[in-house]
Amino acid sequence: MHDWITSLLESDGYVLLFLLVGLESFGIPLPGETALVTAAAFAAAGHLSIYAVVATAAAAAILGDNGGYWIGRKGGLALVRRYGWFVHLNESHIRRAQGFFDCHGPKTVFIGRFIALLRTWAAVLAGVGKMRYGVFMAYNAAGGIVWSVVFGTLGYIFGRNLAQLERYLGLVSLALALVAALVVALALGVRWLQTNSD
């Protein structure tokens, strides 16, 4: 995967970076973060501008998340209502998701930018959860800019040790995803115990 991204970045760097980050943010599981780190490493080698890399990734993240949000807002809820039974989702689950985004939506949108699986789906889930667009946009933009600066800087600084950096970033992202899943599972377990102990 890395060699494929590297060869494409050499020829069409900014366009490819925009597409990979934007489509990942839109809800399609693609290696957007790897593309950003690799493009930043290319900038460190003098092939691209680090400022243009960071700006391209931030713009793609923000625009892609906006598209994902509106897909979730306009069509996601209808799809969940129609096909949710297939994965055991019902109206009470939908109400809980909307309540979750009412309480924790801004944090989820911002922090989700830094967690591999959540980065792909946070915007769509925010749309399904009917999170207010102005709040979503503020945290989406902040998350996209901070993420682009942080990972662009890491790729630029550690450009010569890119494989090692990607391995560490992958492990950290996986650990954050596992911690988030554990927290959600514990919260659901506590809620279930409270509901069934009455």
pTM given for the model: 0.71
Contact 147, 50 (CB under 8 A): no
Total Cβ atoms within 10 A of residue 166? 21
The pLDDT profile of the chain, 198 residues, written as one tens digit per residue, is 556 656 666 667 888 899 999 998 887 878 888 889 888 888 888 888 899 999 999 999 999 999 989 988 887 767 666 665 565 566 676 677 677 777 778 888 898 888 877 777 788 888 887 888 999 999 999 999 999 999 999 888 877 665 665 666 666 666 666 666 676 677 676 676 667 765
DSSP element (H, E) containing 163: helix 162-197
Contact 62, 139 (CB under 8 A): no
Distances in Å between the Cα of 44 and the Cα atoms of 33, 61, 147, 148, 154 are: 17, 22, 18, 15, 10
DSSP element (H, E) containing 161: none
Find, among 84, 172, 166, the residue nearest to 128 by Cα. Answer: 84
Q: What is the pLDDT of residue 114?
A: 84
Only one residue has tokens 């996601």, namely: 76
Q: What is the residue extent of each domain of the chain?
A: 2-197
- Rounded Cα–Cα distance for residues 198 and 196 (Å): 6
Q: What is the pLDDT of residue 123?
A: 85
Q: What is the pLDDT of residue 55?
A: 96
27: left (phi over 0), alpha (psi -120 to 50) or beta: left
